[in-house]
Chain A
Amino acid sequence: MAIDKNSVEYVAHLARIELQSKELEKLSSQLKDILSFIDKLNRIDTARINPTSHILPISNVLRQDQSKDSLAADKALENAPKKQGDFFSVPKVIE
């Protein structure tokens, strides 16, 4: 499956990554090669095979509805690039 520059641009938008035009060129070509390599999977017939999403045969992992200590607000905000009082601050979001 070939992936063209437009697709890469669209995917970069989905992933919220800004690419410089040189980057876009290079990455598009590299991704194309990698996807060609990956296409070898089409050689295998998997029509009757179940997918493995979880490698361990475990299920029903649950925890009790019991409270645990929360972080103090200042700890939660310690790494914040920008804050206002006890809030995280971000550029204005327009809805």
Chain B
Amino acid sequence: MELHSQSGHQLLDLIKNKKTTAKEVWESLESRVRAIDTKVNAYVRKDEKREPSLKPDSQQEGKLMGLAVTIKDNICTTGMNTECCSKILKNFSPPYDATVINKLKTNAASIFNLKANMDEFAFGSSTENSAFMATRNPWDLDSVPGGSSGGSAAAVAADEAIWALGSDTGGSIRQPAAFCGVVGLKPTYGRVSRYGLIAFASSLDQIGPLTKDVEDSAILLEAIAGHDQYDSTSVDIAVPDYKKSLGSGIKSVKIGIPKEYFIEGLDPEIKKIVGEAIDQIKKLGAQVQEVSLAHTEYAVAVYYIIATAEASSNLARFDGVQYGLRVEAGKDSSAGMIEMYKKTRGSGFGQEAKRRILLGTFVLSHGYYDAYYLKALKVRTLIKQDFDHVFKELDCIITPTSPSAAFKIGEKVEDPLKMYLSDIYTISANLAGIPAISLPCGFTKKGMPVGLQILAKPFDEETIFKVAHAYEQATPWHKRKPEL
């Protein structure tokens, strides 16, 4: 089997046993990218001049042994531009590395020298909002890979990456993982440092791994998790040895299936496939029961108030003063500064970015704050309480990741509201700050992957890995690859 087709833990074994080197793996990835990325478009700025020194030497000592990690374009990397796939951040070269990058380097990972495509500023569920191009789903090149971490998910699915980092604010790791048939984890809020992640919604964002299997997810999470003095919202709780959660069986695990997730709007094929996955999990010994997350129907509304409000604030800094695009008014303009702001932001932001900034600005504005923003914060409390209540008795919750499999490119991009509703199953985990994973649980008749979502209590990624791994090892899904 080609080096690039293997998983991270498989390659670590090969390297330890001197059957290959990190450099060879890197070169294998490079040739794979050359061979197929013109079809998939998982990566951006392929012509950019990058530091050649990013490529590892033959051998690297450390947990990740020099293996390359693919990074989403909203995570700051020195030596490579970081543009959030937006025109307004054109040519931005950060003078610092995100904490997760430093942690990867400490663990001897190498940083792949191409950034993964994304929806501009992580605004989207299809990677169609990238300023560059849309990424294609490796399972069907006319379908979307999901978003906003579509590039990361597609790269992993197409073996153009061994493993990747993405970010998840409302499902941006999990939904593309489901659409592309890979494993995507959103850690507990505060588990992984956000320092160096170009912020979308500060109270919802998390960086997480996209991988070929659950074991890789555990390895990568352990490498990037942990308290960071630079992120005041990162939590000082020890990082467990997540690999210990693998292979221990799930006989006593108590699982809840929320009834509100299995209503109209869920594709019947997905419903069936997820139902079969739940049966399989029952067979493995877990106890499954129905639960209620009563405020589920309000989650999308709450999310689109809070997330856009925070986004409108976080994106205020893109104004052409210190970095990125600057569009100046004519010399005769007396209101030069205001003109510069307006023209720069008017031409630098894409449509979805503008939509969210306007909505976010509106809900924070004088006279509307109480009715919208404050109200949303209160309903957020109710949503969190729903989960707290369930987790008093049960260990985790299982749902479909998405109400449908990957849709066609162009299908939803003109209907923002329709696009927003595709996040309906993933959004609540961000609002409640709890960890959640998506892993493959089958394929539709058309051969498109279907994702299963597992949610757990804050800082209980161990239960997620335990259940996910048990299910994965009892099924063939993670072994299938797209034909490219």
> Judging by beta carbons under 8 Å apart, are A30 and B355 in contact?
yes
In Å, the complex CA distance between A39 and B380 comes to 15
A-contact bits for B290-308, CB 8 A (1 contact / 0 none)? 0000010110111011000
Does any Cβ of B come within 8 Å of A53's Cβ?
Answer: yes
Does any Cβ of A come within 8 Å of B225's Cβ?
Answer: no
A-contact bits for B316-357, CB 8 A (1 contact / 0 none)? 100111111110110001111111111101110101001101
Does any Cβ of B come within 8 Å of A65's Cβ?
Answer: no
From known contacts A19-B346, A76-B95, A94-B334, infer whether A11 and B321 are also in contact, taking CB-CB under 8 Å: no
From known contacts A34-B304, A37-B417, infer whether A46 and B355 are also in contact, taking CB-CB under 8 Å: no
In Å, the complex CA distance between A56 and B187 comes to 13
Contacts of B431 in A (CB 8 A): 55
In Å, the complex CA distance between A52 and B347 comes to 35
> Judging by beta carbons under 8 Å apart, are B304 and A46 in contact?
no
In Å, the complex CA distance between A12 and B346 comes to 9
- How far is the CB of A39 from the nearest CB of chain B, in Å? 8
Contacts of B339 in A (CB 8 A): 91
> Judging by beta carbons under 8 Å apart, are B359 and A31 in contact?
yes
> Judging by beta carbons under 8 Å apart, are A52 and B377 in contact?
yes
Residue of B340, B346, B374, B458 with highest tally of chain A CB at under 10 A? B346
> Judging by beta carbons under 8 Å apart, are B355 and A27 in contact?
yes
Q: Can you name the residue of chain A whose Cβ is closest to the Cβ of B315?
A: A15
- How far is the CB of B118 from the nearest CB of chain A, in Å? 20
- How far is the CB of A32 from the nearest CB of chain B, in Å? 11
Q: Can you name the residue of chain B whose Cβ is closest to the Cβ of A40?
A: B301
Interface size of B by CB at 8 A reads: 75
Q: Can you name the residue of chain B whose Cβ is closest to the Cβ of A80?
A: B322
Q: Can you name the residue of chain B whose Cβ is closest to the Cβ of A76?
A: B95
From known contacts A8-B358, A16-B341, A81-B320, infer whether A55 and B203 are also in contact, taking CB-CB under 8 Å: yes
Contacts of A16 in B (CB 8 A): 319, 338, 341-342, 345
In Å, the complex CA distance between A63 and B416 comes to 42
Checking B91, B235, B341, B368 against A58 with a beta-carbon cut-off of 8 angstroms, the contacting residue is: B235
> Judging by beta carbons under 8 Å apart, are B203 and A82 in contact?
no
Majority SS of interface residues in chain B?
helix
Contacts of A84 in B (CB 8 A): none
Identify which of residues 23-40 in chain A touch chain B, using a CB-to-CB cut-off of 8 Å.
Answer: 23, 27, 30-31, 33-35, 37-38, 40
From known contacts A41-B376, A91-B336, infer whether A14 and B365 are also in contact, taking CB-CB under 8 Å: yes
Q: Can you name the residue of chain B whose Cβ is closest to the Cβ of A71?
A: B95
- How far is the CB of A1 from the nearest CB of chain B, in Å? 7
Checking B95, B203, B361 against A78 with a beta-carbon cut-off of 8 angstroms, the contacting residue is: B95
Does any Cβ of A come within 8 Å of B60's Cβ?
Answer: no
Does any Cβ of A come within 8 Å of B229's Cβ?
Answer: yes
In Å, the complex CA distance between A71 and B55 comes to 26
Does any Cβ of A come within 8 Å of B45's Cβ?
Answer: no
Contacts of A56 in B (CB 8 A): 189-190, 233, 235, 433, 458
> Judging by beta carbons under 8 Å apart, are A52 and B384 in contact?
yes
Residue of A20, A41, A52 with highest tally of chain B CB at under 10 A? A52
> Judging by beta carbons under 8 Å apart, are B358 and A11 in contact?
yes
Could you list 5 examples of A-B contacts with CB < 8 Å?
A16-B338, A18-B343, A34-B355, A35-B362, A49-B378
Ranked 5 nearest A-B pairs via Cβ? A91-B336, A18-B346, A51-B377, A79-B323, A55-B433
Residues of B within 8 A of A (CB): 91-93, 95, 189-190, 203, 229, 232-233, 235, 295, 297-298, 300-302, 304-305, 312, 316, 319-326, 328-329, 333-343, 345-347, 349, 351, 354-355, 357-359, 361-362, 365, 368, 371-372, 374-382, 384, 416-417, 420, 431-433, 458
